[in-house]
Amino acid sequence: MIHYTIFNSDSIRTVLHTTPEGLQLNLQSGESYVEGEFYDDRYYVKNGSLHEFPAKPDYPANFDKASESWVWDEEISWGQLRHQRDLLLSELDPIVSNPLRWAGFDATKQSEYTTYRQTLLDLPENTTDPRNVIWPLLPS
């Protein structure tokens, strides 16, 4: 038995472990095949053949077959920035909304927390590229 990857003009359809006769039974009109295991998380189809994706960037991106490159998904990046900001703000709630804890800080520490919180609240308006955010440091 041999591994075969079956694909059409747009995408990989399946990977089979079968005999050459079994392969022929599974091929549909307009499909091609190659020997081996080629999965759609690492390969794409273009011009009737399989190609390996280039390394994916560490920011949200979608693959563009025409240019054969990753294209930044700006909308998702902004959403990730807001999500991270909201998590950091939620970690502050037990500190800034607890009057007894807040009163235990001196004026300098209160000012540091106030500045930190305001800097987070100003995101994303105070950044131009959500892939390169300058996050404020939590007061120690």
Digitized pLDDT (tens) for each residue of the chain, 140 residues in all: 999 999 999 999 999 999 999 999 999 999 999 999 999 999 999 999 999 999 999 999 999 999 999 999 999 999 999 999 999 999 999 988 999 999 999 999 999 999 999 999 999 999 999 999 999 999 98
- Gap between the Cα atoms of 43 and 26, Å rounded: 21
Indicate if 72 and 139 belong to the same structural domain: yes
The boundaries of the domain holding residue 49 are 2-53
Measured in Å, how far apart are the chain's first and last C-alpha atoms?
62
Indicate if 19 and 63 belong to the same structural domain: no
What one-character DSSP code corresponds to residue 140? -
Indicate if 63 and 46 belong to the same structural domain: no
| pTM for this model (two decimals) | 0.72
Task: State both tokens at 25.
Answer: 């039974």
